[in-house]
Amino acid sequence: MATRRAARIGGRTISYLEADTRTAQPGGRSRGSLVLIHAFPLSAEMWASQLDALPPGWHAIAPDLRGFGRSEGDRAASGDGLTMNDYAGDVIDLLGHLGIHDAVIGGLSMGGYVAFALFRHVPSLFAGMMLADTRPQTDTDETRAGRRAMLDLVAREGAAGVATAMLPKLLGETTRRERPEVERHVRELILANPAAGIAGAIARMMTRPDSTAQLAAIRCPTLIVAGDEDALTPVAEARRTHEAIRGSVLEVVATAGHLSNLERPDAFNAALARFLSHKV
C-alpha cells in the first residue's frame, strides 16, 4: 500500500507516493530504489497498482510533477522558458532530499521524456531505466500544432476538455470496449489536475529536445514496455528504441493502449518484476 508524502525543497512542495517492501526481504535487505514518473495529463496516482505490487526488497517513489496532483505549480504566469529540465530538476532534488544516490528510473510517455532529461543531466543516477509507451524523438510540426490547439482547449475548458480530447487516444480499443472502470478512473485522475499544471506540461513537451542520439549512451539495464494497442507510441516505435539501447529488454503488453500500466496492471507488473529480479 502506497503512502502519500510531501517534501518541502527550496521553498517548493513536492508531493509523492512511496512504497517500501524492504522489510519483506530477509534481514530487511534493500534491492534498490525505483522511481516512477507519470504521463500527461495524469499524476503519481496512475502508479498505484505498481506500488501496491512492488516486489520484496524495493523502495519506490512516484512524484507528482510540478503543477500535477498535489505538487505545487509554477510560479510564473506565462509558459515562456518552461522546459523538461524543470521536472527533471525537481526529481533530482527529491532524490537528494531522500538520500537516494541511484535508482531504477522509469517513466511512461511524458514520464519517459523526463527520464531522458534526467539521464542527460545525471546519468550516474540510473541503476536501471524503464521506458514505457514513450519515444525519444522531439515533436513534429504537426504535433506542435496539435499542442497549440490543446493549449487553447485547456484555457477554454480546463481539465475536463482535455480529458474528453485525450481519453480516446490514451486508452486502447479493448479497454475502451471492455473496461469502462479504467476509463472512469483515468478521467478522474485528469480532472483532479489544475489547468495551469496541464498547460505547463504542454509547453514543456513542445520544447523538449530530441533524445534519439542519447540512446546509444544508455548502458544501464533498460526495460522498454509497449501496449500493443498504443496508437500514440506504436509498438514499432518501442522496437526501434529497443534496437538502439544495447542489451535492453522489450515487453509488449497485450490488449493495452498507451496507458499500459493502468490498462493491464497484472501484465505490466509481471514484466516489471521480471526486469527487477533478473536484470537489475
Per CB under 6 A, residues contacting ligand MLT are: 39-40, 109-110, 205, 232, 258
What is the nearest approach in angstroms of ligand MLT to the Cβ of residue 151? 12
CA–CA separation, 159 and 153 (whole Å): 9
Q: Phi/psi at 224 (nearest 5 deg)?
A: -115, 130
| Angle subtended at Cα 90 by Cα 224 and Cα 193, rounded to the nearest 5 degrees | 80
* Lookup result for grid cell 546509444: 216
Closest to ligand MLT by CB, 196 vs 232, is: 232
Neighbours of 23 (CB within 10 A): 10
Instruction: Tell the smallest beta-carbon distance from residue 109 to ligand MLT (Å).
Output: 3
Q: Cβ atoms within 10 A of the Cβ of 235, count? A: 17
Nearer to ligand MLT, 171 or 280 (CB): 171
The dihedral built from the CA positions of residue 216, 245, 239 and 119, taken in this order, carries a sign that is negative
Nearer to ligand MLT, 100 or 202 (CB): 202
Q: How far is the CB of 166 from ligand MLT (least distance, A)?
A: 7
Q: How far is the CB of 150 from ligand MLT (least distance, A)?
A: 9
C-beta closer to ligand MLT: residue 66 or 258: 258
Cell of 219: 548502458
